[in-house]
Amino acid sequence: MKGSPALLTDQYELTMIGAALRDGTAHRPCVFEAFARRLPHGRRYGVVAGTGRLLEMIMDFRFRADEVAWLQEQGIVDAEAAQWLTAYRFTGDIDGYAEGELFFPGSPILTVSGTFAECVVLETLILSVLNHDAAVAAAAARMVTAARGRPIIEMGSRRTHEEAAVAAARAAYLAGFASTSNLAAGLRHGVPTAGTAAHAFTLLHDDEPTAFASQLAASGTQTTMLVDTYDISQGIRNAIAAAGPGLRAIRIDSGDLSVLAAQSRALLDELGAPDVKIVVSGDLDEYAIAALAAEPVDAYGAGTAVVVGSGAPTAGLVYKLVEVAGRPVVKRSENKATVGGRKTAVRRHKPTGTATEEIVFVRSAPTPEPGDRTLSRPLIRAGALVDGLPTLEESREHLRAALVSIPWEGLKLSVGDPAIPVTVLTT
Amino acid sequence: MKGSPALLTDQYELTMIGAALRDGTAHRPCVFEAFARRLPHGRRYGVVAGTGRLLEMIMDFRFRADEVAWLQEQGIVDAEAAQWLTAYRFTGDIDGYAEGELFFPGSPILTVSGTFAECVVLETLILSVLNHDAAVAAAAARMVTAARGRPIIEMGSRRTHEEAAVAAARAAYLAGFASTSNLAAGLRHGVPTAGTAAHAFTLLHDDEPTAFASQLAASGTQTTMLVDTYDISQGIRNAIAAAGPGLRAIRIDSGDLSVLAAQSRALLDELGAPDVKIVVSGDLDEYAIAALAAEPVDAYGAGTAVVVGSGAPTAGLVYKLVEVAGRPVVKRSENKATVGGRKTAVRRHKPTGTATEEIVFVRSAPTPEPGDRTLSRPLIRAGALVDGLPTLEESREHLRAALVSIPWEGLKLSVGDPAIPVTVLTT
């Protein structure tokens, strides 16, 4: 039912290729860049996310015969363009920020070099993957900061497109979430999975003690019991009566979570179950998580807010042609502060390790100073993945370290400016 | 790379099935319902969307051998559950509102009947598909209302997950959009596709007249020329000089679209090109479209806002167990106005055809009055699709007619209450 990634493309890319093949410009060497003109309102950083799965899809980006036939039948491409599409594979170079790197307005996070035609055809796929995954990762990173070390389980699959859910689980894990409820994310991306029971399981049984006994018989005491189907206090009593004080955790999914967490902790302690952990869930975003910081909560479940980017469902990345045959180009009709020419970037740091600014070099090699970290790195060379690209675990660690390096104001949840400025050097 | 739809599932569905298989409750006959407790803030209606592609995926919902092996290896399911998953296919019944039907808080839009295990395993997939597609369709329907008959092209693929983009294009077309830029939506779902050229095409060429000449040579005059790469007035002059007054359209993608549309119309008329149409795009949502109603615009391109649901990126649908072995069940620990028991619904209308309310019958057959329209209809029977399910075109017409039937206040863009009330009859 699903096709190749090649049709996840806007039609105008192919009509442009058709015209450019006729007039010969299709083969001009070009450089395209993906960057954000601005961050979503009030956000202090963006997170590069999706690179790993994007690069895989670029390697798989082939037009199938039936797809090309359909395009020709529809009059979208002519015979010459159809032939070109059939033979297509990306043979150019891609450089970019590491997955898990932070970005700011103007950061050149992905640079694609090759012929016009081979680069422009990737536009939609590149932007779809990065805009989605970066939006989720940025929201997730803010939640991880708000959780102050307590683990967060991603459980938002049901609130977003079924395939977006898998990518969202991956992006949330990249950003420091502990696990996901999404099984495909476990199998495809190695994200740890979690999940025990829903209210339906309790309702299915004749009463709550029977449901809990059944869960225990199947999973043992290293399970989480959902205690708010009927009365929460009674639910906790039933859970401890069934499992004893060795139960791993209870989960509360509704009501005033601050009050309920404190009451539940007191009750568990009173029942002689001080080691039973408390998991809370139910429409948690970064602000709700921050508000629970002082409560006796051991783990959070986050759903809707993380998968829809907590108010910023897309990262606002664009993909622009910046160089044609060695000449910088730029759209000039409006006030968008875009600079033509291929760019590379370094991040400057104090001796203490705190980042101070990002320097973007236009059409010149970076001249790093002590404490500079080069951000742009090779990802694809002559159509092949470079060796040693980071794993998802390594990207996760990269982001953790990058977040530690920005000034502390950059981690505040409140509306503010980008954590560090980006300086563009055009000389 | 992609698996079957079966792993697009939350882990707890499988751990519940494992426990329920052990204790025998997995086979209890159950009824689950999908509904919204409320509409997104200020919205006056919801739109049922995604049903067509959901039903297809339910027919394909099979656990592959490698998926089951992985689940067992991870300790998520035991041998008995693994065997059950391997043999799984849905054999129950599904009823629901037609795709393209409106819904309101409490409307029972999908009812799934079968054993507990076979129904609960579909929970995540059902909610992912309906929550995403309904969110896009509702935003798109508001834009279509705001456009007052002018066509809208969906061009938001790059702002959302690459597969969500295909579903979004389908949902926008369902809601009355004229076409999409997304090629996969054309091939998979038959949505008309559109697209001609981006700014990159002009930048690729030595100058704008050369770019326009190339586009014309490839596409003829029935094309749309993007005129705002450099100076818009000069761009329009170049377009008409190249194509003559028979050009189909120009597109403006930046700047103050109201002012530019009027100026462009005047210039085109002055150049003797009164039939050349004006397409505008660039961050249009339903409010921006409404604000352009008085301007000489012929068509809109809408991107980001439609694919992210224009402020409401998920529809808030939930999937709840409402009946077990003929007994109504309901979670009781909180103040959610949920009623147990299987439901069916009719919509009541005045003799003029205007809808007045929706009546939900709980555990009883509807008793329709004159002017009532039965909303719940059979979709799957004993695991097989019923004959004659509507095509996407038919669903599109269904929604068009449904929108005409609600009171006119229901179509206002401003924040308000649901267009009609839902009355639940529990007797």
Q: Domain with A114 in it: what CATH number? A: 3.20.140.10
Residue A141 lies in a domain: no
- Mention every residue, 6+ apart, whose C-beta is less than 8 A from residue A338: A37, A320, A330, A331
For residues A93 and A112, state if they share a domain.
yes
pLDDT, tens digit (0-9, with 9 covering 90-100), for B156-199: 999 999 999 999 999 999 999 999 999 999 999 999 999 999 99
Identify the pLDDT of residue A368.
85
The reported pTM is 0.98
Instruction: Let me know whether A397 and A354 are in one domain.
Output: yes
Q: Which domain holds residue B64?
A: 5-135+312-425
Among residues B278, B307, B336, which one ends one of the domains?
B307
The model's pLDDT over A388-414, given as tens digits with 9 standing for 90+, comes to 999 999 999 999 999 999 999 999 999
The string of DSSP codes covering A96-141 is: EPPTT-EE-TT---EEEEEEHHHHHTTHHHHHHHHHHHHHHHHHHH
Query: Is B289 found in the same domain as B333?
Result: no
Per-residue confidence (pLDDT) for residue A328, from 0 to 100: 96
Q: Give me A241's structure tokens.
A: 């009566």
Name the A residues in 257-316 with CB < 8 Å from any B CB.
304, 307-309, 313-314
* Residue A336: pLDDT band with limits 50, 70, 90: low
Residue of chain A whose Cα is closest to the Cα of B26: A204
**Does one domain contain both A285 and A161?**
yes
Start-to-end CA distance of chain B, whole Å, equals 51
Do B371 and B300 fall within a single domain? Answer: no
- Domain C-terminal end among B276, B307, B338: B307
Across the interface, do B205 and A25 touch by the CB < 8 Å criterion?
yes
Q: Is residue A393 exposed (0-12), middle (13-18) or buried (19+ Cβ within 10 Å)? A: exposed
Q: How many domains does chain A have?
A: 2
A195 neighbourhood in chain B, CB within 8 Å:
10-15
- Respond yes or no on whether ipTM tops 0.95: yes
Q: Which of B102, B155, B141 is nearest to B422 (CA)?
A: B102
CB of B71 less than 8 A from some CB of A: yes
Count CB atoms within 10 A of the CB of residue B427: 6
Task: Determine contact: A129 vs chain B, CB below 8 A.
Answer: yes
**Which of A13, A215, A332 shows the shortest C-beta gap to B230?**
A332
Measured between alpha carbons, how far is B403 from B399 in angstroms, rounded to an integer? 6
List chain A residues with CB under 8 Å of B64: none
Q: Which amino acid is at A279?
A: V
Question: In this structure, is the dihedral angle defined by the CA atoms of residues B25, B31, B34 and B36, taken in order, positive or negative?
Answer: negative
Q: Is residue B269 part of a domain?
A: yes
Binning pLDDT at 50, 70 and 90, where does residue B1 land? very low
Residue A121 backbone phi and psi in degrees, to 5: -70, -15
d(CA B12, CA B18): 10
Please give the angle made by the CA atoms of B98, B102 and B104, to the nearest 5 degrees.
Answer: 120
**Shared-domain flag, residues B9 and B105:** yes
* Residue A333 to residue B255, Cβ atoms within 8 A: yes
The CA angle A47-B169-A321, to the nearest 5 degrees, is 50
Determine the Cα–Cα distance for residues B376 and A292; give it in Å rounded to an integer. 42
Residue-wise pLDDT for B323-370, tens only, equals 999 999 998 755 556 789 999 999 999 999 999 999 999 999 888 899
The CATH number that applies at residue A224 is 3.20.20.70
Determine, yes or no, domain membership for A168.
yes
Question: Could you give the residue ranges of the DSSP H alpha helices within A122-231?
Answer: 123-147, 162-174, 183-189, 199-204, 208-219
Tell if the CB–CB gap between B219 and A19 is shorter than 8 Å.
yes
| Bridge partners, B94 (sequence order) | B112, B380
**Residue B352 has which token pair?**
């003029």
* Distance of alpha carbon B351 from alpha carbon A122, whole angstroms: 54
- For position A367, what pLDDT does the model report? 85
Q: Do A329 and B5 touch (CB under 8 A)?
A: no
Q: Which residue of B has its CA nearest to A335?
A: B255
Q: pLDDT of B237-255, one tens digit each?
A: 999 999 999 999 999 999 9
Q: A355 and A208, same structural domain?
A: no
pLDDT per residue over A271-307, tens digit each?
A: 999 999 999 999 999 999 999 999 999 999 999 999 9
| Residue B113 domain flag | yes
Closest CA to B183 of A11, A27, A146: A11
Q: Which residues pair with B424 in a beta bridge?
A: B360
| DSSP letters spanning A295-311 | S---EEEE-HHHHTTTT
* Cβ-defined contact of B162 to A321 (cutoff 8 Å): no
> Within this chain, do residues A213 and A283 fall inside the same structural domain, yes or no?
yes
Q: What is the pLDDT at residue B424? A: 94
Between chains, do B25 and A196 touch, taking CB under 8 Å as contact?
no
Contact A162 B217 (CB under 8 A): no
